[in-house]
């Protein structure tokens, strides 16, 4: 599995799966990773690489599935001694944007990685995706926010990653400095879905030989 993923991501585009893959690789030993509901959790489950070092993974599901994710991550970071990161989508971050104030209030050390793919990508995998034009308006619900400006409201350091190298560097730097940081990764939903579907379709688990004869 790990060899297959390594081959897949060697020349992979910067899509949602790539972000999850790189984040797990970059997490320091004994780190804590908070994962939002919907596609971030699924991308982590499918494309997070096996690790030799311990990694505590947290997630919760609010009333609407994505409520309070940033708040929970801030709480995890306060209780955890090591590096803490949050993998979150644009819609979930918009729902809990006010929680960014906890960075200063709690003096938390938290790295937030937001995947902005233009709305709720999980619905692209359901039959409702073919129901245009109402699909884009009522299901994807693109926030359309300026994350740099939003982070500025709360005096949060923000950076943008467009390549794997930029993301890896931004993650390393964020883990080495105090405070709450926001890393913005903008991806294309159609490209992300195509990569995910192809990668999972081509995966063939190793067959183990049965003992006896």
**Cα 187 to Cα 190: distance, rounded to the nearest angstrom:** 9
Report mean pLDDT in 10-residue bins for the chain, 213 residues: 82 93 93 92 88 89 80 95 94 93 92 90 70 74 89 94 95 94 94 90 65 45
pLDDT confidence of residue 207: 54
Strand order in the sheet with 55-58: 55-58, 31-35, 84-89, 110-116, 180-186, 157-160
pLDDT confidence of residue 213: 43
């Amino acid at each position: 599995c790990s060899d297959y993923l390594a081959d897949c991501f060697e020349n992979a585009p910067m899509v949602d799966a790539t972000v999850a893959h790189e984040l797990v690789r970059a997490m320091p030993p004994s780190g804590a990773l908070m994962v939002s509901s919907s596609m971030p959790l699924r991308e982590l489950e499918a494309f997070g690489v096996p690790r030799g070092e311990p990694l505590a993974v947290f997630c919760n599901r609010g009333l609407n599935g994505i409520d309070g994710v940033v708040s929970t991550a801030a709480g995890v970071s306060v209780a955890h001694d090591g590096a803490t990161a949050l993998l979150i989508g644009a819609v979930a971050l918009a729902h809990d944007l006010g929680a960014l104030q906890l960075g200063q209030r709690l003096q938390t050390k938290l790295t937030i990685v937001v995947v902005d793919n233009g709305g709720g990508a999980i619905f692209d995998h359901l039959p409702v995706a073919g129901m245009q034009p109402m699909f884009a308006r009522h299901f994807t619900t693109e926030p359309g926010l300026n994350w740099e400006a939003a982070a500025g409201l709360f005096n949060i350091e923000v950076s943008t990653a467009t390549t794997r190298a930029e993301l890896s560097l931004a993650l390393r730097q964020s883990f080495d400095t105090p405070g709450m940081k926001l890393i913005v990764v903008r991806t294309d939903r159609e490209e992300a879905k195509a990569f995910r579907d192809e990668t999972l379709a081509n995966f063939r688990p190793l067959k183990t030989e049965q003992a006896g004869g």
